[in-house]
Amino acid sequence: MVVARPNLSLAEKLFFPALLTGIRITWKYFSRTLVAVITGNRDKRVTLYFPEEKWEVKDGYRGAPTLVKDEDGREKCVSCQLCEFVCPPKAIRITPGSIAPDSSNAKIEKAPREFKIDMIRCIYCGMCEEVCPEEAIFLRKDYLFTGLTRAEMVHDKKRLYELGGVMQRPIKKWANK
């Protein structure tokens, strides 16, 4: 398929109209923020005093992928590895494990021995959440992750459960979408 080259108007061919439009938009928001700071009207600001102020995300926001437990504190993940298989950037690494036969959860076939998500690779697509048959992995509201090394940006199983917490039943997985 050949896409026809658009015919540009004289204004589009010149550099300065677009430049002036950009400056006008920047000035509009700069002056609005300046007035808001001077008058103390915080609602009018278009910027945040980060990191003291943080963006409040809405329900259904797809932040970092996390693992969740049920209301009895049991791991929901059965280490089926579907999420690992489907993850586009291969950010998930699971080491399957077994549940001890004397455990009250022994009827569950497996549980992950280790579960790692590389947050440098993760693109927050949500496919792991979509594919999980146990509703064990959810994208939560957390979005601020920093680290000085690559290793710090890999969330291990302990960290994933800390972030995910408990997901109460009945699971309203689709309610906020």
Q: How far is the CB of 75 from ligand SF4 (least distance, A)?
A: 9
By CB under 6 A, residue 163 contacts ligand SF4: no
DSSP 87-128: -TT--EEEEEEE--TTSTTTTS-EEEEEEEEETTT-----HH
User: Which residues, listed in sequence order, are joined to residue 95 by a DSSP beta bridge?
Assistant: 114
Q: How far is CA 47 from the centre of its chain?
A: 21
Applying CB under 6 A, among 37, 123, 144, 166 the residue interacting with ligand SF4 is: 123
Q: How far is the CB of 97 from ligand SF4 (least distance, A)?
A: 11
Applying CB under 6 A, among 66, 68, 137, 164 the residue interacting with ligand SF4 is: 137
Applying CB under 6 A, among 99, 127, 153, 154 the residue interacting with ligand SF4 is: 127
* CA gap 82, 137 in Å, rounded: 11
- Token pair recorded at residue 164: 């995910």
Per-residue DSSP letter, 29:
H
Q: How far is the CB of 55 from ligand SF4 (least distance, A)?
A: 19
Q: Which residues bind ligand SF4 (CB under 6 A)?
A: 65, 77-83, 87-89, 91-92, 94, 117, 122-128, 131-132, 134, 136-137
